[in-house]
Amino acid sequence: PRQTSPARVECFVHSEMYYVEVLLEAPTGHVLDCKVAHQAEALSCPELTEVLQKGDFVEFTKHLEGLSAIYQINADKKNKTKAYLALHALEIDLSSLAELQNHQINDINNLVHKSPVGILEPRKGGHPMRLTYFVPPYDLIDVASKSCLPLNVEVILEKKLGTSATVCIESSSSHRLQHESLINTLKTPEGKNLPQFSALTNLNSTQLPACFVLRLQTPLVTSIDILRKIRADTSIEFNYELIHKRESLIHLIAKQMLEMHLPNLN
């Protein structure tokens, strides 16, 4: 702790790659602000401030674990810094896509299920960016009130409805990853704004022992044929043991739905 004035005390949580700064009111200990610094100036983080004001240290620990997870790649400090910049650049581009689609897609069903990124929830402290790409009809059933919830962005985010994936980076073989935005907005003669993507070059990207990943909220039931198509398009290998453990697709879907929703019906 460091007392910067008779009325204020600063506390720090340090790691090799980032630090969290907590500003306290003296002598009450009331949390005034919480900031996170990666490679630049510390920026206020309202989510962490709120968590500490509530005294929810379990949630605070989850945020710290999430911040540390950004740097869990097999590399030196310099390349770990580049990995953070790569993830940050990707988040900027995904946010740009979300902003473009939100101005052009008015139907909420199309926004969730047929847009480039679905419903985007920005990074909040140590919690990664989240993309909700599917909301099944039964998620909208409110058993307690015996009514249906409206399908809108606010309800989806507040109730954490649907199926989502978080945007992360993790250690892997070498890949070329962006370290700056690759999206420019192109205005068409009809007045629409469309994204234009730049190719990866030595100026806007870096070779890193890492890759971007979409981490699913829950395991996704899929078919072996779809896995093979994903492998053909991306060159990403999958665990061949899955083929020997395969089950009927209908059986897997029914099993997953029961596990997810049966507790809510009892």
pLDDT tens, position by position, 205-254: 999 999 999 999 877 777 788 888 888 887 777 766 766 677 777 887 78
pLDDT tens, position by position, 169-186: 999 889 999 999 999 988
Domain boundaries, the chain: 2-69, 77-217, 219-266
pLDDT tens, position by position, 39-78: 778 899 999 999 999 999 999 999 999 999 999 999 999 9
Nearest alpha-carbon partner for 133 in 103, 154, 110: 110
Categorize the per-residue pLDDT at 265 as very low, low, confident or very high, splitting at 50, 70 and 90: very low
Supply the pTM of this predicted model.
Answer: 0.85
- What angle is formed at CA 225 by the lines to CA 219 and CA 227, rounded to 5 degrees? 45
Q: Would you state the pLDDT for residue 19?
A: 93
Nearest alpha-carbon partner for 92 in 66, 71, 117, 60: 117
